Amino acid sequence: MNDTANGSTLGNKTALRRELKRRRRTLSLYQQKQAATNLCQRLKQLPEIRRAKRISLYLPVNGEIDPTRLLPWLRQRKVSIYLPVLRPFSVNRLWFVAYREATPMVKNRFGIAEPCPRFAADKRNRLPAWALDTLIVPLVGFDKQANRMGMGGGFYDRSLAFMRQPGPTPTLIGVAHACQQVDALPIEPWDIPLDVVASDTMIVRPIKTG
């Protein structure tokens, strides 16, 4: 499953994104569940997860690997959990809103469950991204340098653009199925780099230079 994309495909991000999304959708329900279990076992070992007190994760759709098996473990450890929510009156930006067992949920325009607008609009239920310890973000693809391909909307890149400036920043952990790995991904100037990628079979960290 861990076959790589060729050069011509890498030159066409749309085609590559389509192919990687197809790969994850072809996984059986059993494979999806097993991958989620293996992923969460790996995530629990990461120091960036173990020391975090405020974590954002996501609710999976369309074959995305499922990080929600972490929820009981995180709640047992008294970790505050947040979800990305489409920010109203803003172009492709996110809020990070508290996710508790009693949080009222609705589906957004992409069919993804998120805290309802009234709950999300209450500032007491939100946290600025810089105040999070760790973000677990979904990937369409990743490579051996922990470069990331997202859905193409730029939601995370816009919402985390502050990370290019001095100041507090969260740890970014991308997660995906192992079949979503390719040899190399094109890097855009606006891409916010990941600190680590976790899949159901491996942990990938970027090689530090300088």
Instruction: Supply the CATH classification number for the domain 7-204.
Output: 3.40.50.10420
> 192: which DSSP letter?
P
**Could you tell me which residues are annotated as the binding site for ATP?**
13-17, 148-156
Annotated binding-site ranges for substrate? 59, 64
Cβ neighbours around 193 below 10 Å, total: 14
Domain-wise residue ranges, the chain? 7-204
Per-position pLDDT tens, the chain of length 210: 344 444 443 458 888 999 999 999 999 999 999 999 999 999 999 999 999 999 999 999 999 999 999 999 999 999 999 999 998 877 778 999 999 999 999 999 888 999 999 999 999 999 999 999 999 999 999 999 999 998 777 788 889 888 988 889 999 999 999 999 999 888 877 788 899 999 999 999 988 765
Residue 199: C-alpha distances to residues 46, 109, 112 (Å): 12, 28, 22
Q: Are 152 and 72 in contact (CB under 8 A)?
A: no
* Binding-site residues: 13-17, 59, 64, 148-156
Q: What is the pTM of this model?
A: 0.89
